[in-house]
Structure 1
Amino acid sequence: MQEMDFITRFLYWLVSFDRKALILGASAIAAGLAMMAGIGPGIGQGYAAGKGAEAVGKNPKTSKQTTVMMLLGAAVAETSGILALVVALILLFGNPVVSQQGSVLVLAASVIGAGLSMIAGIGPGIGQGYAAGKGAEGVGKRPEFQSTIMKAMFVGQAVAQTTGIYALVISLVLLFANPLMNLL
């Protein structure tokens, strides 16, 4: 029961703040949370670069082809970070929740949820970077199959990005078409 008292007091304390200030504060937190998705592309691109360097070290004659494969794959691995950046910028500069009516707690929680959902972009960034690294490694070993390897890499990266797209959809729904507001 004591925990419930704390929670109740905390919620009353939260709603005692200015409505707009609470939503803007939640937006700032959410923007920071969203950018945690950049962890995935950082890991993935580092892996791709490492595999590219390893492939060139083993077969310097394939340097150009391996580097192209690595750079293209690493660029695709950045997409979940870019999606997170877009959500963070919406939260900071064009947040539609600030002018919405409804429970300030639901609105603030929705904003934080929008930022949290983008953390799902970590997985695609790592997965796409892994595909890029293996693509670079494959071209280093078999440069004559660069075109085939690249197609396989891009298909794999597209599939890996689906969870990042799901996260973006949930984030945008929470910001622009929140179904929870209709329940109040």
Structure 2
Amino acid sequence: MERRNDARDVADVHAIPLAEVAHDRLWARDVLGSIRCSAALLALLLLIDRAAGTLTDLRALLWVTLAVLLFLVLYPSRVSAGEGWLSSRGLLPARRVRTDHLVSVRSLDGVGQRLVLRDTFGARVEIDPRVLVANPPLWHRLDEDARVSALRGSLTCGATELRRVSERIDRETAQTVFKVSGLD
């Protein structure tokens, strides 16, 4: 008995506490939204086709395929971050970038704005800036590690993009505070 307790005590002494990992808190809601959109499209297409009297098994299969494709397009990436890393996992394998070794942060504008992070090891991750805005712990983790990269001198391009995201987060936080306090 004595020996087991000693072994447990030694294991507890050498246990390394895991750094806190921040996750996208709205990911599950976004997945449900993509499921709802796909289901609504499927129901609408089946209803219209049935009302027109043209619904067949082949057409129903076509509508199901179209709804599945819509779900795949709308499926959100799950973003998480810990000390020194940021990960984005969609339907494809997860991509991970070392945020304490960032080389560049660029913004891709288009239909959906994306933030592209690259590290010194060649890894690349694309994330939606709205995920950072909606999840302050994710932004805090990325911001701290980006500062480490800048101090190391590896972050050569991207300070402007990070400042824009920071300003957007500050602006939306202030709007939320004003709204909650009734000062809007």
TM-score, normalization: structure 1? 0.34
Structure with more of its chain in helix, by fraction = 1
Q: Larger relative CO (CA 8 A, sep 6+): 1 or 2?
A: 1
- Which structure has the bigger radius of gyration? 2
TM-score, normalization: structure 2? 0.34
